Amino acid sequence: MERRRMDAALLVLLLGHLAAALEVPLDLPQPPTITHQSPKDYIIDPRENIIIHCEAKGKPHPSFSWTRNGTHFNIDEDTNVSMKPHSGTLVVDISGAKAEQYECVYQCTARNKHGTAVSNNIVVRQSRSPLWSKERINPIVVQEGVSLVLPCRPPAGLPPPIIFWMDNNFQRLPQSNRVSQSLNGDLYFSNVLREDSRNDYICYARFPYTQTIQQKQPISLKVLSLDAINDTMAAFYNDTDLFSDDPADERKPTFLVPSGPSSSKTVLRGQVLEMECIAEGLPTPDISWSKVSGELPAKRTYFLHYQRTLRIVNVSESDAGDYRCTARNKLGTVHHNIHVMVKAAPYWISAQPRNLVLAPGENGVLTCRASGTPKPSITWAMNGIPIENSPKDLSRKVEDDTIIFTDVQTGSSAVYQCNVSNPYGYLLSNAFINVLSEPPRVLTPANKVYQVIKNHPALMDCASFGSPIPKITWFKDSRSSTLDGDPYILHDNGTIEIHTAQAHNAGKYTCVARNSLGKEENHILLEVKEPTRILKQPEYKVVQRGRSAVFQCKVKHDPSLVPTMTWLKDDGELPDDERFYVDSDSLTITEVSEIDAGVYTCIMNTTLDHDSASAELTVVEQPDPPTDLELTDQKKRSVQLTWTPGDEHNSPIMKFLIQYEDSLHHRGHWHNLTEVAGTRTTAHLKLSPYAHYTFRVLGLNAVGLSRPSFPSRVYKTEPAAPDENPTGVQGLGTEHDNLVISWKPLTGLQSNGPGLHYRVMWRQKAVNSDWNTASVANTSKFVVSGTPTFVPYELKVQAVNDHGAAPDPAIAHGYSGEDLPVAAPNNVQVMVLNSSLAEVHWDPVPSKFIRGHLKGYKVYYWKERSLHKHNPHHVEKEILTFSGNHSHGKLPGLHPYSLYSFNVRIYNGKGEGPPSPTQEFETPEGVPGAPTSLLVTNTDLDSLTLEWNPPHVRNGRITGYTLKYQPGNTQTSHPIARPPPHHPHNNAMPASPFRNVNSSVGDDGALISWEYWGPEKSVYVEYKLQNSEGEEEWQKELVNGSQNVMLKGLKGGLSYRVRLVAKGHHDQPLHQSQELLVKVPAVASRQVDIATQGWFIGLMCAIALLILILLIICFIQRNKGGKYPVKEKEDAHTDPEFQPMKDDDCTFGEYR
């Protein structure tokens, strides 16, 4: 017992050698290893040479020998058999022999001085495809409704053939839940029908190895009803098999396969389990499956042959148990239980035994761990000899499935065979133990470059060999410390792993392999690359048919990697079509059609990674036109229309538009009748009588309207009396003694019947009189003559046809014809409001004198003359119209100081009435215009003479002139206005309220000044470029309450048109000043400081000297007291407001 514990402990310690098995380099001594062999069950084609494979490696290279049926096979004695050079593979030339001679069990042996390896037992059998035995098959006659089995019974072949049923035309016979093929190839009918009758039921067998198909003789089947059987019994009695003497009635199910209430089945682990249940019955039974002792394995279960076959793939022990198939129809149910037993040929629990490389004095373990049902037996052999017959070795101990090696020595190398077997198969495995003393060697190529994507695992190999097994250590760059902790993971085979590689992990790595006999190192480079990423993914597209679709796929990748862009459609290649254009970062599809719809995927590949993104393309277009129009539920005034929608083309139909054509009244013209939701396929249509309707339907989706459907059949409605009367009935006169009654006529569809005419009725309103009636047809108006002038009438127009009249119409109102008014307004008065505005008042004319619809009043006025004797005489008349029932109105825009005449007239729809008596009024004086000229003469050093002419527009008697002046300077100067003198209260305002509009341009802008004496509150300065093209708008600045404004932002070197505008109420005209032209001087592009220029200093000195001389002369003249014209006027002037100019403050004086 203690010994067993020690052995178990030793086994645990030695498991490391099992996990660390090494691949021995071929330049080192080693026993043979079989690398390739033919399968255990080797089926050959008898028409070709037989090749039995056996390849092995070893140092020295092994030699080969074979056994056949357990005895040595001397190849040299058989001239048809040869062995390939440096190989154990046999080649059998069957050209001079039959393949049957070589159907045997073969085993290959590979040996060298270090051991012997053996292959599996290879059973060689030739494939067979025998012919069907010839037989005479009698026609089969059965009664309709009975069950039937057509046998196939193919010849036994190797491997078994594939069975299928076809007809003479090599077309597969249709199968269903009523007719199906069983697993053995027979054709089962749960019940036969008359259409099953045919004479070419043929069973075919296909043999896969020889690729041949064998055919059974055709079977003739005739299915008759019971009456037909009685009639044809004699004809078939001698040479026909006759089934089912009794009538075939409906019956509950019974099983044809398998028989009895239960059965059993055995299947091997890993193979496919197939169970079938075929039942007969009438009606045809339905088959279902269940597992009595558990659930069916969903991912491994399949139902075939219309549920008649249950298939479970990759069977495991858990699939053992009881299964139940159930057949049912409306008459009953039947069950069958199948007990399934799962056996298992031997299989490896863990990996099969692996080679051991041990140094002298080391320990090791070979393990042959397998299982099976029933439990398999395990036997060991050494170099092909049972281990119990092999030489004794104290370092070796066999314990069931394990061999333990302790303190091995040179010369203990050998190949061990493990054979695991039970009744269902065997496993044979070769594993050698090789005792070597070898210093380490690194097998990974030197300076190997590993490239990895950032944030992905990095695995760097350091494959090595040595005996004892080398220990691997890793260093990075400076070798300051070994890499044995986070983030590094060191695997047993020497590979180092970085779970998530980052940019700082890149660099030079060194792996060192050490054992007791020495060490060897290798350098490895790691490069960490940026990942490939799709920055802009393709997006879902809905594209109308015939247009283009563009999918974007913008990618970022490591610049050192070469990218390759690939596009797929539905996980396959793009169509070979010039409409598909692939650019560096996009896919364009032109003129898309329905076949282009699908999922498009862009894949960016590099040598290290890839990224992909997908998007769907949906192709839409107008729906197809509806079809199958049908008229149902036909009534006098309605019908129901049904239709079948057309293809939506991926865009849901939102609504259907129903149109009609009335071939009786308007042939060839389609009209919209109604609309219904896109989910409906019927519509209840309201119709009019006396029409020949044809309907059509159009579908509407987001793309547009479909083409119209084919028209429905014609639906004729019966005539009836009109349902409605004409609309738009009105009455008015074209002459003073008539009344014209008009209306909107009914359409042909509204007439409801033949013989449409109109009953026109009228009578005076407010007079208790009877209705006058007239009937007219084919017109839309009627004239009543001899009416009094402009009296109200009540009107009615009724539609009538051959089948009756419409309902009583509503009463409309109208008037007979108008005539000119016969009276003028009375009590006409005028009030003069100012010099340019007067207001006229009158009393309204009584309605009895208007003789029509009152339109308004007109005031005729004209200027007789100016009150100033020098003004000319004016007689041009002006008219002001006041619409509606007004009793006063204003006359604007009058000339001041003038005599006007006027009268007032009323007017109606016919024209104007007589004028009122003509009256006169005078307008008061207004502000005069500017003098027409101003001249300066007799200029002396201290005096000058001013001469001017009177203004053209005096607007009254001129009583005097106001003179304003100011000293001159080098800049442009203008007079500065002062308020005008006080005028009497009854003086009129001038026509334009703006006076003395001036401008001055400085560095800050243009200063605009003016005088304004108007009543309006909204005053604007407007300006725009002088030569502006088109309809450029005036720029505005509001200046209410001010009489000057600085215009800033004007561009140098340009001229501007400036004007002032006063705006009153909306019904008052605008007042504008005369336009002023303002020139803005250009600004030099380069400015020079003139204060430092010599010429400027000299000029200033000269000006200063000149001013000094002028002051001296002025002083002398004033002391002399000389006379000059202006001074004479100063002396004669007695105006107490006169103030002489003072020399000290240079203020302005005024002259009156």
pLDDT in tens, 295-313: 999 999 999 999 999 999 9
CB 1090 within 8 A of CB 1050: no
Nearest to 1027 by CA among 1047, 1000, 998, 1057: 1057
Residues linked to residue 905 through DSSP beta bridges, in sequence order? 858
> Looking at residues 870-895, what average pLDDT do you find?
82
Q: Whole-angstrom Cα distance, residue 193 to residue 179? A: 10
CB 346 within 8 A of CB 375: no
pLDDT for residue 1090 is more than 80: no
Structure confidence at residue 927 (pLDDT): 87
DSSP 274-342: EEE-EEEEESPPEEEEEETTS---GGGEEEETTTTEEEE-S--GGG-EEEEEEEEETTEEEEEEEEEEE
The confidence band for 549, taking pLDDT boundaries of 50, 70 and 90, is very high
> Looking at residues 706-718, what average pLDDT do you find?
94
Structure confidence at residue 1068 (pLDDT): 60
- Among 77-81, 412-416, 1037-1041, 1137-1141, name the one with the lowest average pLDDT: 1137-1141
Q: What is the residue-averaged pLDDT of the chain? A: 85
pLDDT for residue 914 is more than 60: yes
950: Cα within 13 Å, side-chain hemisphere:
12
The confidence band for 629, taking pLDDT boundaries of 50, 70 and 90, is very high
Q: Whole-angstrom Cα distance, residue 585 to residue 563? A: 12
The confidence band for 869, taking pLDDT boundaries of 50, 70 and 90, is low
CB 527 within 8 A of CB 513: no
Distances (CA, A) of 598 to 538, 570, 572, 648, 941: 13, 6, 11, 17, 103
Structure confidence at residue 875 (pLDDT): 67
> In the numeric block, which tokens belong to residue 631?
């008229």
Burial status of residue 2 (CB atoms within 10 A of its CB: 0-12, 13-18, 19 or more)? exposed
Q: Whole-angstrom Cα distance, residue 799 to residue 751? A: 8
Distances (CA, A) of 365 to 297, 380, 393, 432, 498: 39, 14, 15, 11, 32
- For residue 570, give the H/E element and its range: none
Q: Whole-angstrom Cα distance, residue 309 to residue 292? A: 17
Q: Whole-angstrom Cα distance, residue 785 to residue 913? A: 24
Structure confidence at residue 226 (pLDDT): 66
pLDDT for residue 3 is more than 70: no
Q: Whole-angstrom Cα distance, residue 1006 to residue 1056? A: 10
> Looking at residues 271-288, what average pLDDT do you find?
94
End-to-end CA, the chain? 154
Structure confidence at residue 1069 (pLDDT): 66
Q: Which residues touch 698 (CB under 8 Å, ≥6 apart)? A: 625, 626, 656, 657, 659, 705, 706, 707, 708, 709
pLDDT for residue 794 is more than 80: yes
3-state secondary structure of 1045: strand
- Among 213-227, 486-500, 573-587, name the one with the lowest average pLDDT: 213-227
Q: Whole-angstrom Cα distance, residue 460 to residue 109? A: 39
Q: Which residues touch 564 (CB under 8 Å, ≥6 apart)? A: 604, 605, 606
Look-up: residue for tokens 């059949």?
A: 713
**Does pTM surpass 0.75?**
no
Structure confidence at residue 955 (pLDDT): 84
Structure confidence at residue 991 (pLDDT): 56
pLDDT digit string, tens, across residues 355-372: 999 999 999 999 999 999
- Among 490-494, 653-657, 934-938, 983-987, name the one with the lowest average pLDDT: 983-987
Q: Whole-angstrom Cα distance, residue 75 to residue 82? A: 7
In the chain, the percentage of residues whose pLDDT exceeds 70 is 88
Structure confidence at residue 1120 (pLDDT): 53
Q: Whole-angstrom Cα distance, residue 856 to residue 906? A: 6
pLDDT digit string, tens, across residues 383-416: 999 999 988 888 899 998 999 999 999 888 999 9
> Looking at residues 262-283, what average pLDDT do you find?
94
3-state secondary structure of 1109: helix
> Looking at residues 999-1015, what average pLDDT do you find?
79
pLDDT for residue 984 is more than 90: no
> In the numeric block, which tokens belong to residue 1029?
């093209």
DSSP 919-936: EEEEPPP------SEEEE
Rg for the chain, CA atoms, rounded: 61
CB 844 within 8 A of CB 882: no
pLDDT for residue 1151 is more than 70: no
The dihedral over CA atoms of 483, 489, 493, 495, expressed in degrees to the nearest 10, equals -70
pLDDT digit string, tens, across residues 342-356: 999 999 998 889 999
Q: Whole-angstrom Cα distance, residue 762 to residue 773? A: 7
570: Cα within 13 Å, side-chain hemisphere:
7
CB 540 within 8 A of CB 461: no
> Looking at residues 123-151, what average pLDDT do you find?
89
pLDDT for residue 20 is more than 50: no
> In the numeric block, which tokens belong to residue 985?
């209260």
Give the amino acid at 28. Answer: L
Q: Is 901 left (phi over 0), alpha (psi -120 to 50) or beta?
A: beta
3-state secondary structure of 1120: helix
Structure confidence at residue 951 (pLDDT): 86
Structure confidence at residue 1115 (pLDDT): 77
> Looking at residues 117-145, what average pLDDT do you find?
89
The dihedral over CA atoms of 434, 436, 438, 441, expressed in degrees to the nearest 10, equals 0
Give the amino acid at 781. Answer: K
* Angle, alpha carbons 763-764-765 (nearest 5°): 115
3-state secondary structure of 195: helix
pLDDT for residue 1127 is more than 60: no
DSSP 817-880: ---------EEEEEEEEETTEEEEEEEPPPHHHH-S-EEEEEEEEEEEEESSTTSPB---EEEE
Percentages helix, strand, coil for the chain (3-state, rounded to 5) are 10, 45, 45
Look-up: residue for tokens 């629990």?
A: 349
pLDDT for residue 1093 is more than 70: no
Query: Strand 781-785 vs strand 888-891: parallel, antiparallel, or unpaired?
Result: unpaired
pLDDT digit string, tens, across residues 718-734: 999 999 999 999 999 98
Q: Which residues touch 940 (CB under 8 Å, ≥6 apart)? A: 1124
3-state secondary structure of 959: coil
CB 1014 within 8 A of CB 995: no
> In the numeric block, which tokens belong to residue 260?
């009895």
pLDDT for residue 1134 is more than 50: no
Structure confidence at residue 1091 (pLDDT): 55
The dihedral over CA atoms of 747, 752, 756, 757, expressed in degrees to the nearest 10, equals -80
pLDDT for residue 476 is more than 70: yes
Question: In terms of residues, how long is the chain?
Answer: 1152
* Angle, alpha carbons 583-587-593 (nearest 5°): 140
Residues linked to residue 310 through DSSP beta bridges, in sequence order? 275, 303
Distances (CA, A) of 125 to 52, 85, 157, 158, 769: 12, 25, 12, 8, 126
The confidence band for 1121, taking pLDDT boundaries of 50, 70 and 90, is very low
Give the amino acid at 363. Answer: N
Q: Whole-angstrom Cα distance, residue 187 to residue 205? A: 14
In the chain, the percentage of residues whose pLDDT exceeds 90 is 61
**Number of neighbours of residue 881 by Cβ within 10 angstroms:** 12
pLDDT digit string, tens, across residues 601-612: 999 999 999 999
Q: Which residues touch 138 (CB under 8 Å, ≥6 apart)? A: 239, 240, 241
Structure confidence at residue 1099 (pLDDT): 85
Structure confidence at residue 243 (pLDDT): 45
Any idea what DSSP says for residue 58? Answer: E
3-state secondary structure of 595: helix
